[in-house]
Amino acid sequence: MPSTRKVRVYRFIEKTALAVFVVWSGGLAVLFALDRIAGHELLAGIGVDIFILLLILVIQQTIDSWLVMSFSQSDLTQKDVFESLYERSPVGYLTLDTKGRVVNVNPSAVNLLQGSMDSFAGVNFYNFIKDEGEVDLEVLERKVEAGLTVNDMEVPMETIAGNYIWVMVSVSPYRNSGERLVSLIDITEKKNIDTAKSEFVALATHQLRTPIAAIRWNVELLERSLKTIKTESQTRYLAKIERNVLRMINLINDFLSVSKLEMGTYAAEAVSLDLSEFFESVVDEFVEKINEKQIALDRHEVPAHAVINTDSRLIHIIVSNLMSNAVKYSKTNGQLTFSYQLSGSSLQIVVADDGIGIPEGELDKLFTKFYRASNAQSHQTEGTGLGLYIVKQSVEQLGGGITVQSGEDKGARFVVTLPVSVVSA
C-alpha cells in the first residue's frame, strides 16, 4: 500500500493535468475559430489533448487500485474501522457501564445532548431521561444491567443545556460484558409533527361537530313535520340519513378521543355500565351487515348484566372496532363469537371470527398505524388500517392488554383484558 503522501502527489498531478486539458482544449478551439491555426496544427493539438486524457485515466486507475488494495489487505483492523465509524457517525453513540454510567461518548452524542466531552465524565445516562410516565425507567435499567437488547425506544430527554428533546434509544451489549452500546437518534422533529397532526385532527373534528349536530337536528325536525304525509321511500331516505349522521358523530367522537390519547390529554370519564346492555347496543350497530352476510353470531356473557365503572367511550372504541373487523373480514355464512367474562376485577373480552385471518408473519405489525395485512388488501375490502391502532391506544389507556391469534384463512381471535372496578356482578 503506497503512502498517503504518494496518493496526494498523484491526486495533485491528476488535477493539474485536468486543468491543462481544459486550458489547452479551450485555447485550441478559440485559435481554430479565429482561423489562426492550420488543419495539421489542430490535429497535433488534439493529439496532445488525447495524451493528457490518457494520463488522467492512468492516474485515476492507479489511485483506485491502491484504494481497493488498502481495503482488502487492510492494515486497518476491524477495531479501527469500528472506531472510525463510532467517531464520525451522524448517529449519537454512548458507551455505558452496567449501571448506566457513561464510559465513552462520540461527537454526535455530545452534540445531541448539547454538552462538551468533559461534561459526560462519570455522568449517569438515566439522568438525561425525563420521566413523565412515558418511559418505564426501571425496566430499562434492568434490561441494560442484564445485557438485554433494547430496540427503538422513544424517550424524552433533557439536554445538558436544559432543552427538551425526543430521542430513539437502542441499547446492545458491547465489547465485553461490562459495557453497553447506546445509539441515540434525534426524533424531536417527528414528535413535533405528530403532535401538530393530532392537534389538527382534534381541532378539525371538534369544529365538525357543530354542523353535524345541526344536520341531525334538522333531519329530526323534517321527520316530525312530514310525520303523516311522507311516502314510504321518503321515510326510508330519512332513516338512512339519520343512521349515517349518527355514524359520523360516532366517528368524529372517536377521532377526537384518539387525538387526545395521542396528545396525552384524554380525560377518562368513568360511568357505570351494564355490560350486557352496552354490548347489545354495540352489536346492534352491525346487525345489518351481519344479516347481509348471513353470519351466525354467538354470544357468551358471564355473568350476564354485570355492572362496572369504566370509560364507556374507550370500551366502545375497542369493541366496535373489533366487531367491525370481524364482520368485515368474515366470509358469507361465517361464524362470529362475541364474549366477555368478568372474573374478580379483570374483564376479558373476546371477539373471534372464522374469516380470512391474518398471515402469521404479519401479526406483529397489526397494531401499527395504517397497517393493513396483504390478504385484506387483495380482498379489496375498504379500510384505513387505523382501527386496531386506535384499539391498542384505548386498551393501553385503560391499563389493559390485547392479544391476537390468527393465520391466513384460519380466522382471527382478539382477546382484550382490562382491569375494571366492579359495581355489581
Residues forming contacts to Mg ion in the complex (CB under 5 A) are 325, 387
Q: Which is nearer to ligand ATP, 334 or 400 (CB)?
A: 334
Chain CA centroid to CA 96, Å: 28
DSSP structure string for 353-376: E-SS---GGGGGGTTSTT---HHH
Q: Which does 17 bind (CB under 5 to 8 A by kind): Mg ion, ligand ATP, none?
A: none
- Closer residue to ligand ATP in complex, CB, 108/205: 205
DSSP-derived letter for residue 329 is: T
State the nearest-atom distance from the C-beta of 416 to ligand ATP, in Å: 13
Q: Shortest Cβ distance from residue 368 to ligand ATP (Å)?
A: 9
Tell me which residue of 25, 10, 23 sits closest to 56, measured CA to CA. Answer: 10
| Minimum gap (Å) between residue 411 Cβ and ligand ATP | 7
Instruction: State in angstroms the smallest separation of the CB of 374 from ligand ATP.
Output: 8
112 in Cβ contact with 165 (< 8 Å): yes
Sheet of strand 179-186: strand arrangement: 102-105, 92-97, 179-186, 164-174, 150-158
Residue 245: name its binding partner from ligand ATP, Mg ion, none (Cβ under 5 to 8 Å by kind).
Answer: none
Contact partner, 329, from Mg ion, ligand ATP, none, Cβ < 5-8 Å per class: ligand ATP
Q: How far is the CB of 401 from ligand ATP (least distance, A)?
A: 17
Closer CB to ligand ATP, 32 or 371, in the complex: 371
Contact present, 338 and 363 (Cβ < 8 Å): no
C-alpha cell at 280: 347489545
Q: Which of 386, 110, 98, 115 shows the shortest CA–CA distance to 251?
A: 386
Using alpha carbons only, give the angle 277, 281, 285 rounded to the nearest 5 degrees.
Answer: 165
**Binding region for ligand ATP (CB under 6 A):** 321, 325-326, 329, 353, 355-358, 366, 371-373, 376, 383-389, 412
Residue 107, preceding bond cis, omega within 30 degrees? Answer: no
CB of 95 or CB of 205, closer to ligand ATP: 205
Report in angstroms how near the CB of residue 383 gets to Mg ion at its nearest. 5
Using alpha carbons, select from 105, 103, 123, 122 the residue that is nearest to residue 178. 103
Q: How far is CA 94 from CA 125, 180, 330, in A?
A: 9, 8, 50
92 binds, options ligand ATP, Mg ion, none, Cβ within 5 to 8 A by partner type: none
Task: Return the H-helix or E-strand segment holding 388.
Answer: helix 387-397
From the CB of 60, what's the least distance to Mg ion, in Å? 58
Minimum CB separation of residue 243 from Mg ion in Å reads: 19
Please choose which of Mg ion, ligand ATP, none residue 356 contacts, taking the beta carbon within 5 to 8 angstroms, the exact cut-off set by kind.
ligand ATP
* Interacting partner of 261 out of Mg ion, ligand ATP, none (Cβ under 5 to 8 A depending on kind): none
State which residue, 295 or 418, has the beta carbon closest to ligand ATP.
295
Closest to Mg ion by CB, 334 or 387: 387
Among ligand ATP, Mg ion, none, the one that 183 touches (CB under a kind-dependent 5 to 8 A) is none
Question: Smaller CB distance to ligand ATP: residue 28 or 356?
Answer: 356
The binder of 166, among ligand ATP, Mg ion, none, by C-beta within 5 to 8 A per type, is: none
Q: How far apart are the C-alpha atoms of 121 and 97, rounded to whole Å?
A: 12
The residue length of the chain stands at: 425
Cα–Cα distance for residue pair 260/388, rounded to 1 Å: 17
Q: Smaller CB distance to ligand ATP: residue 95 or 330?
A: 330
CB of 372 to Mg ion, least distance (A): 9
Cell of 385: 388500517
Helices and strands (H, E) in the chain, number of each type: 12, 13
Please say which residue, 95 or 320, places its beta carbon nearer to Mg ion. Answer: 320
